[in-house]
Amino acid sequence: MQIRTVATTPFTDQKPGTSGLRKRVPTFLQAHYLENFVQSIFDTISVPQGATLVLGGDGRYYNREAIQIILKMAAASGFTRVLVGRGGILSTPAASCLIRKYRTHGGIILSASHNPGGPDGDFGIKFNTENGGPAPEKITEAIFAASKKISQYHIADSADVELDRTGDYEIGEMTVSVIDPVEAYAELMESLFDFAAIRTLLKGGFRIKFDAMHAVTGPYAREIFVNRLGAPSTRYWRSQPFAGEGAMRPRHGAAEPTGAGVAASADSVMNAIPLPDFGGGHPDPNLTYAHELVEILYGDNAPDFGAASDGDGDRNMILGKHFFITPSDSLAILAANAHLVPGYQQGLAGIARSMPTSAAADRVAKALGIPCYETPTGWKFFGNLMDAGKVTLCGEESFGTGSDHIREKDGLWAVLFWLNILAVRRQSVEAITREHWAQYGRNVYSRHDYEDIPSDAANGVMKLLHDSFAELQGAQFGHLQVKLCDDFSYTDPVDGSVSTGQGVRIIFTDGSRIVFRLSGTGTGGATLRIYLESYEPDISKHHLDAQQSLATLIGIALQISELRKRTRRERPTVIT
């Protein structure tokens, strides 16, 4: 094997965000762009002798080409073995599972998560460390520093690897093991949940609908829900996923469901073919972008349970018949019912939630006598807590929940957790939720996203808020009085690291709050998010629509931020 050393010059924009480096596909297609960042990763992590790497992605456009480049660079950088998902595919939770199971020297995941794909869409790359979780800030900062001074990268001259057939292949002295992307993850799920109870529930006529959004979880959902749990399916699929250009095709020429009429059929999994452009959709499981599923669950003859996951499989949305569960409530309900699930019957060490997530989980933690940690947004902040044994369940309001079984949020895990609870309690999603509110009170909650607005306008809103702290302190807005204004900072209880500038909080004396934050997951313009929360202990008001209950807070948020004037947006892009 010949190793080439290629001269290069740095790019100035390779600073990883909360989930790695995300850019438009044309940016990654620039000469040396991907190679520079990959070499910066390898230079930073100091590959030890005999090291193994996990590699895979969500199947979006440029996934397969990028994998071939990374394999050749891994061989040139001294890796002994790379585990790569067949077809170049691994969901993010499955990649974390493999890193932990095989104790590898981390992994590279190719994904832009819930962002759109295709030739003009988004692409992303991130490094996960040996614990299976996203690299902490000290490593991502070191990768960025290396990218700013890189002058060369190393790559093996080798033929491409056959990604669509499992088996071992050689690139010089490095072995590439193409593995089933689903098997290890499915086995882990079966070890945590009562599959027999869920099978009985489904055989008894309980109907589910899972929307894979033409993203990575389609084959995972088929294997787990249909093959292992016996959920109804009207279509027959090849046993080998991700053939050809990252897409499975149905047998016998059967077409993938399109449109609510077909999708509302007896098939339990919809949009299950992973496509490089996600079928032209936006693979973000919320009420706006998963509208096809929402229409089914709110329609006539609706299934009993609905769920969706995102591009790389780490997010989830949970729906009951004509009923939506906020991610904040979902985390709290999972925690309150964890004793019903085999993998968590030993009890919870603690719960962690991101700062913008509602305090519903805090109330459950208090009742259970366990700690609840409030962290910045970004799953990497949960990793230290889980590694130290301080928490078992974690969640973010951005449709991410998970536990210490891996070190990533996990969409299908959350769906199975809900199905396990439903199989034991034999109540509807709505009934379980309303009983939870009756016991703990309802944290009425909503998030308003203003996507792709000019960065200067978004930064202007945040500067105005910072400059208004003194004026807002103690201010009266009708019956609400401001108790505290600050920019959230976090001191990690495990390693003492400090993270600042994590979001502007305006907290009122009655516990209500408004949070403003710029998202770190987009690639174009800026996404400004407003989080709104109030606590309602009165059960007679639990039926009210969240937007109705939060109307006063919404008005205050728009007033003090001057958002409409500064962004020229009359309404949010997405409301959840």
Residues 6+ positions from 548 with CB-CB distance below 8 Å: none
For residue 563 the two structure tokens come to 């958002």
Residue 113 a catalytic site member: yes
For residue 162 the two structure tokens come to 């056959």
- Residue 414: its H or E element: helix 411-425
What's the DSSP call for residue 56? E
Residue with tokens 């009359």, as numbered in its chain: 570
Counted residue by residue, the chain has a size of 576
Residue burial 183-214, b: 16+ Cβ < 10 Å; e: rest:
ebbbebbeebbbbebbeebbeeebbbbbbbbb
The catalytic residue among 19, 113, 398, 446 is 113
Residues 6+ positions from 144 with CB-CB distance below 8 Å: 14, 15, 16, 40
CB distance 241 to 433 below 8 Å = no
Residue with tokens 């691994």, as numbered in its chain: 90
β 81-89/52-57 pair status? parallel
What's the DSSP call for residue 161? P
Distance CA 472, CA 400 (A): 32
Residue with tokens 């061989």, as numbered in its chain: 75
Residues 6+ positions from 187 with CB-CB distance below 8 Å: none
CA–CA distance from 485 to each of 28, 203, 212, 306, 506 (Å)? Answer: 40, 53, 40, 38, 5
Residue with tokens 């379980």, as numbered in its chain: 432
Helix 195-203 / helix 411-425 crossing angle, nearest 10 deg: 70
CB distance 232 to 268 below 8 Å = yes
Distance CA 305, CA 317 (A): 11
Closest CA to 54 of 92, 87, 83: 83
CA–CA distance from 433 to each of 186, 430, 524, 575 (Å)? Answer: 28, 5, 37, 20
Active-site amino acid positions: 113
